[in-house]
Amino acid sequence: MIDAAWFRDGRVILAPMAGVTDEAMRALCLEQGASMTYTEMVSAKALSFANEKTRHLLRLAEGERAVAVQLFGHEPAVMAQQAAWVEQAMGDALAYVDINMGCPARKIAGKGDGCALMKDPALSADIVRAVDGAVEVPVTVKFRRGYYNGEETAVEFARRMEDAGAAALAVHGRFAQQLYAGTADWGVIAKVKQTVGVPVVGNGDIASAEDACRMRQLTGCDSVMIARAAEGNPWIFAQVQAAFAGRSVPCDPTVDQRVAMAKRHARLLAAREGRNVVRMRKHCAWYLKGVPGAAAARGKINSCVTVEDFDAVLDQVLRFAQDFEQAHAG
């Protein structure tokens, strides 16, 4: 069973990402060594309306025994009620409930959800307190350095969340107004770690096993959370796990391995969504990033609507990359 101590053991966690961390993505990251995966962000308000489009986000991936669910919303009662419903519906498949207080997207923050909650620490604490009182599983919070550029509020915010009952805290080193621009300040993660007693998960700009080790060394964070670096690159989890264990870090995947994984990803998506797997377009572009011939194939990728379409484009790119490598060998 997951408890607060679980986070202290150098876990390597796949971050929740809207439109990305569906069952297919999670299954592949788990295979490569992710310690825990998250569903996509789930709207508590939508769940309260019994929205089936939202409820399907809670389905487990292949090989997934338990998953963390990240709820977003700004009404304590609704958040608590829906967290309780999620726990009842998922049973042992629910690892813990995370409350999103870090998403800077306008459609989220503009409605008072996500990182907008950092502007109202009292309301944020009320939400954590309400959710923690409604469920048996641990309740965690993910937030940022602060909301407004230059106004670092994460340390005091972390104290408030801990006092309200948060079992662990995930800290992203950017201000909300930065969105994903610039660089993440890992110093704020260290400050939060030095201030609170609950486990702290570091997040932001981990692009390699070396980055993950450096973040832990510089911040003292208990675990790390990987987001964009996992897009098209589930292998990063195996690499970070090896580095944390003091083993030799596996090499980056070959073009053949990237193409093979992209094909598997497409099939996993198709099993969920049927023949129309257009969501695979962005994943395909991520898998092929930097591969010779990928840029020229972008138009074809964006026209794919079936697994067979993706297979054809991926095979074409692979042949081009192999010919390119042979022509430039030596």
Question: What are the catalytic residues?
Answer: 103
Helix or strand holding residue 298 (H, E): helix 298-301
Contact 86, 97 (CB under 8 A): yes
For the CA atoms of 244, 250, 254, 259, what is the dihedral angle to 10 degrees?
-50
Pairing of strands 200-203, 168-175: parallel
| Cα 160 to Cα 71, 121, 194, 201, distances in angstroms | 19, 7, 15, 17
The encoded tokens of residue 170 equal: 């995930």
> Rounded to whole angstroms, how far apart are CA atoms 166 and 131?
10
Q: At which residue do the structure tokens 């796949």 appear?
A: 14
SS percent in the chain: helix, strand, coil, step 5: 50, 15, 35
